[in-house]
């Protein structure tokens, strides 16, 4: 009678334990906590702050990119008199002099090209800031999912440890009735010890995930997180068509757009290098004095002479090579993003299929197998080793279910990072 009562306790404890993996990690709405963590990361993460400052610096550069160079003020002494015809000069203000204010005027659209280059650089910096933000957000979301996956594993392990206590009592009761072996209770104690080690290891993983989140948010490492798992909902398979995701990534991925901006800037730099063959003009105007009297104005017009053929040829060649390299890099980044997106999409779909098999087939069979073996053990038809084996199969199935659900959260974060926004 005692063995049957203990067996009933084991079976009642098994049902909620196995169901926890289905309901606790199955895609309930994301907690407000994760939204708050992401918002804090966007504001406080050091890498994001650096990227914001770099974007601000590039934007400030645009304001004066097409400005004229500073004008030059020149004072020139034409005849510097000496003292009584000797070698020593007198005051320069006693001689003839002129003052000239001159301004250089870049021609042939050079100023517009310089502004276009600065605009492209600012756009690239802004997009790289978005890329850094997306990377940080993905890391926060993955660490958050890892934290709560570890929580579920620990919860399962503790439930199994409690059942091992019940099974150990069942083994002792059967031994006292002459129906079992003393080594069955010993094996139950060994299994409990193994579970204690597993709990300690998983709790360490959960703590590492919590510390990773706090570091990403640049906040006190002791800041706690909510314990109850509330993972984000995974979009349906129909909402995640690869062709649509790929098109969105090509149109919105910050890294792709940043490389395109870099390529455009490099093309403008190549055009500017070609314009350097054309001369600029400098114009000057100022008063002229003679014998201490103002006698009129002095006007000056000068121009550059592009006689350094080797210098200009090398500048043009360098700029064209950089432009070609920028275009090639832009194409390579586009292909890489498309490949990474395809890998993440395949991984997500694969995890969906594995989850369905585990939840709909393997887990129910493991439950039935455990119930049957445990009932047979109480009736003396199966051994305690069979009970432990069935228990391990049920436990491993639930752990695998949690693992594939975490993989889905990880792949979702990767896909959103690659497409440049939430799905």
Look up residue 148 and give its two tokens.
Answer: 């709560």
**Residue range 2-70+110-231+252-274+324-414 in CATH 1.20.1600.10:** yes
Angle, helices 384-419 vs 309-357, to 10°: value is 150
Separation between Cα atoms, residue 161 and residue 139, nearest integer Å: 33
Separation between Cα atoms, residue 394 and residue 376, nearest integer Å: 17
Per the rule left: phi > 0, alpha: psi between -120 and 50, beta: everything else, 380 is left
Task: Check if the beta carbon of residue 170 is closer than 8 Å to that of residue 378.
Answer: yes
| Between residues 88 and 151, the one the model is more confident about | 151
Angle, helices 363-378 vs 384-419, to 10°: value is 160
Strands (DSSP E) contained in 291-421 are 293-303
Task: Check if the beta carbon of residue 124 is closer than 8 Å to that of residue 58.
Answer: yes
Q: How many CB atoms lie within 10 A of CB 151?
A: 22
102 pairs with which residues across the strands? 72, 284
- Residue 153: pLDDT above 50? yes
Separation between Cα atoms, residue 93 and residue 99, nearest integer Å: 12
- pLDDT by residue (tens digit) across 354-378? 999 999 999 999 989 888 887 887 6
**What is the pTM for the complete model shown?**
0.80
- pLDDT by residue (tens digit) across 226-277? 877 677 888 888 888 999 999 999 999 999 999 999 999 999 888 888 888 8
> What was the pLDDT predicted at 82?
66
- pLDDT by residue (tens digit) across 272-314? 888 888 888 889 888 877 766 777 888 888 888 887 778 878 8
Separation between Cα atoms, residue 250 and residue 418, nearest integer Å: 9
297 pairs with which residues across the strands? 287
């Amino acid at each position: 009678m005692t063995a049957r009562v203990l067996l009933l306790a084991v079976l009642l404890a098994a049902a909620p334990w196995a169901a926890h993996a289905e309901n606790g990690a199955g895609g309930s709405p994301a907690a407000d906590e994760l939204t708050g963590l992401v918002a804090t990361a966007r504001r406080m993460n050091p890498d994001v702050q650096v990227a914001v400052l770099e974007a601000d610096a590039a934007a400030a550069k645009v304001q004066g990119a097409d400005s004229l160079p500073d004008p030059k003020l020149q004072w020139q002494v034409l005849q510097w008199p000496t003292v009584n015809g000797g070698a020593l000069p007198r005051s320069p203000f006693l001689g003839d002099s002129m003052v000239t204010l001159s301004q250089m005027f870049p021609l042939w659209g050079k100023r517009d090209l310089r502004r276009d280059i600065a605009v492209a650089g600012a756009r690239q910096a802004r997009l790289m800031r978005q890329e850094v933000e997306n990377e940080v957000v993905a890391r926060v979301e993955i660490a958050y999912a890892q934290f709560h996956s570890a929580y579920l594993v620990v919860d399962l392990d503790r439930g199994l440890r409690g059942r091992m206590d019940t099974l150990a009592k069942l083994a002792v009761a059967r031994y006292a009735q002459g129906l079992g072996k003393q080594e069955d209770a010993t094996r139950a104690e060994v299994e409990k010890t193994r579970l204690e080690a597993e709990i300690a290891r998983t709790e360490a993983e959960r703590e590492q995930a919590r510390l990773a989140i706090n570091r990403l948010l640049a906040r006190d490492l002791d800041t706690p997180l909510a314990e109850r798992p509330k993972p984000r909902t995974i979009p349906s398979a129909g909402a995640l068509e690869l062709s649509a995701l790929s098109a969105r990534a090509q149109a919105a991925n910050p890294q792709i757009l940043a490389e395109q901006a870099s390529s455009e800037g490099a093309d403008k730099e190549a055009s500017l290098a070609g314009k350097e063959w054309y001369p600029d003009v400098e114009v000057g105007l100022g008063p002229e004095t003679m014998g201490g009297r103002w006698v009129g104005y002095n006007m000056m017009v000068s121009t550059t002479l592009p006689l350094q053929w080797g210098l200009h040829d090398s500048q043009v060649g360098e700029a064209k090579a950089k432009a070609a390299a920028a275009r090639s890099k832009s194409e390579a980044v586009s292909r890489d993003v498309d490949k990474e997106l395809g890998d993440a999409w395949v991984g997500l779909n694969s995890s969906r299929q594995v989850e369905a098999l585990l939840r709909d087939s393997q887990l129910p069979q493991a439950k039935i197998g455990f119930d049957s073996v445990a009932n047979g053990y109480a009736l003396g038809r199966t051994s305690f080793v069979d009970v432990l084996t069935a228990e391990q199969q049920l436990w491993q199935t639930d752990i695998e279910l949690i693992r594939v659900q975490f993989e889905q959260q990880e792949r979702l974060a990767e896909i959103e990072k690659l497409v440049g926004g939430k799905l």
